[in-house]
Amino acid sequence: MSRQRLMPSAPIEVRAGVATDAGRKREHNEDSYFAKAPVFVVADGMGGYAAGEVASAAVAAEFGLLTGRPSVYASDVRSAFGRAVAAVHSLPAGGGAGAGTTLTGVVVSDSGGVGYWLCFNIGDSRTYRMRGGQLEQISVDHSVVQELVEAGSLTRTQASIDSRRNQVTKAIGAGGDGELDFWFLPAEPGDRMLLCSDGLTGELDDGRIAAILRETTDPQAAAERLVAAAVDAGGRDNVTVVVVDAFAVVEAFADGDADTVPRASRAGGRR
Ligand code: CA
The verdict on pTM exceeding 0.85 is: yes
Q: How many helices (H) and strands (E) does the chain have?
A: 7, 13
Gap from CA of 69 to ligand 1 centroid (Å) = 31
**Cβ atoms of residues 46 and 257 within 8 Å:** no
* β-pairing verdict for 181-186 and 114-122: antiparallel
* β-pairing verdict for 103-111 and 172-173: unpaired
**Cβ atoms of residues 169 and 144 within 8 Å:** yes
**Would you give the DSSP letter of residue 2?**
P
Gap from CA of 112 to ligand 1 centroid (Å) = 37
Q: Which of 59, 22, 11 is nearest to 188 (CA)?
A: 11
Measure the CA dihedral 217/219/224/225, to 10°.
Answer: 30
User: Confidence band (pLDDT; 50, 70, 90) for 2?
Assistant: very low
**Cβ atoms of residues 190 and 246 within 8 Å:** yes
pLDDT of residue 8: 54
Q: What is the pLDDT of residues 13-68, one digit of tens each?
A: 999 999 999 999 998 999 999 999 999 999 999 987 778 999 999 999 999 999 99
Gap from CA of 164 to ligand 1 centroid (Å) = 13
- Report how far residue 254's alpha carbon sits from residue 9's, in angstroms, rounded to the nearest whole number: 21
Q: Which residues make up the environment of ion ligand 1, defined by Cβ < 5 Å?
A: 44, 197-198, 237
Indicate if the alpha-carbon torsion angle 270, 217, 7, 114 is positive or negative: negative
pLDDT of residue 136: 98
Question: Mapping DSSP to helix (H, G, I), strand (E, B) and coil, where does residue 88 land?
Answer: helix
Gap from CA of 28 to ligand 1 centroid (Å) = 11
Question: Is pLDDT larger for residue 264 or for residue 85?
Answer: 85
Gap from CA of 214 to ligand 1 centroid (Å) = 25
pLDDT of residue 75: 97
pLDDT of residue 258: 57
pLDDT of residue 95: 54
Assess whether pLDDT exceeds 60 at residue 269.
no
Q: Which of 195, 199, 136, 137 is nearest to 165 (CA)?
A: 199
Question: Mapping DSSP to helix (H, G, I), strand (E, B) and coil, where does residue 43 land?
Answer: strand
- Helix/strand/coil (H, E, C) string of 210-230? HHHHHHCCCHHHHHHHHHHHH
Gap from CA of 30 to ligand 1 centroid (Å) = 8
**Residue 246, φ and ψ in degrees, nearest 5:** -90, 115
**Distance, CA of 62 to chain centre:** 15
- Report how far residue 263's alpha carbon sits from residue 250's, in angstroms, rounded to the nearest whole number: 5
Q: What is the pLDDT of residues 105-134, one digit of tens each?
A: 999 999 999 999 999 999 999 999 999 999
Measure the CA dihedral 70/71/75/77, to 10°.
Answer: 90
Gap from CA of 266 to ligand 1 centroid (Å) = 35
Residues linked to residue 244 through DSSP beta bridges, in sequence order: 16, 193
User: Confidence band (pLDDT; 50, 70, 90) for 91?
Assistant: confident
User: Confidence band (pLDDT; 50, 70, 90) for 100?
Assistant: very high
Gap from CA of 197 to ligand 1 centroid (Å) = 6
Gap from CA of 199 to ligand 1 centroid (Å) = 5
